[in-house]
Chain A
Amino acid sequence: GAVVSQHPSRVICKSGTSVKIECRSLDFQATTMFWYRQFPKQSLMLMATSNEGSKATYEQGVEKDKFLINHASLTLSTLTVTSAHPEDSSFYICSAYGLRSYNEQFFGPGTRLTVL
Chain B
Amino acid sequence: SQQGEEDPQALSIQEGENATMNCSYKTSINNLQWYRQNSGRGLVHLILIRSNEREKHSGRLRVTLDTSKKSSSLLITASRAADTASYFCATDRIQGAQKLVFGQGTRLTINP
Contacts and interface: CB of A to CB of B under 8 A. Distances in A.
Specify which of B31, B33, B42, B48 lies most central, judged by the most chain A CB atoms within 10 Å of its CB: B42
Contact of B98 (A93, A97, A109): A97
Interface residues of A, number: 24
A40 to B, nearest CB: 9
Interface in A78-95: 91, 93, 95
A108 B102 CA distance: 16
B43 A46 contact: no
A43 B42 contact: no
Contacts of A91: 40
Interface stretch (A14-22, A69-77, A99-107): A99-107
Contacts of B99: 34, 46, 49
Contacts of A103: 30-31, 48, 92, 98
Interface class of chain A by DSSP: strand
Contact of B45 (A1, A32, A34, A93): A1
Contacts of B30: 103
Given A34-B100, A43-B104, A108 B42 contact: yes
A11 interface: no
A104 B92 contact: no
Interface of B: 3, 30-31, 33, 35, 40-43, 45, 48, 88, 92, 97-105, 107
23 contacts: A1-B45, A32-B97, A34-B99, A34-B100, A42-B104, A43-B105, A44-B88, A44-B102, A45-B102, A46-B99, A46-B100, A49-B97, A95-B43, A95-B100, A103-B30, A103-B31, A104-B45, A104-B48, A105-B98, A105-B100, A107-B45, A108-B42, A109-B42
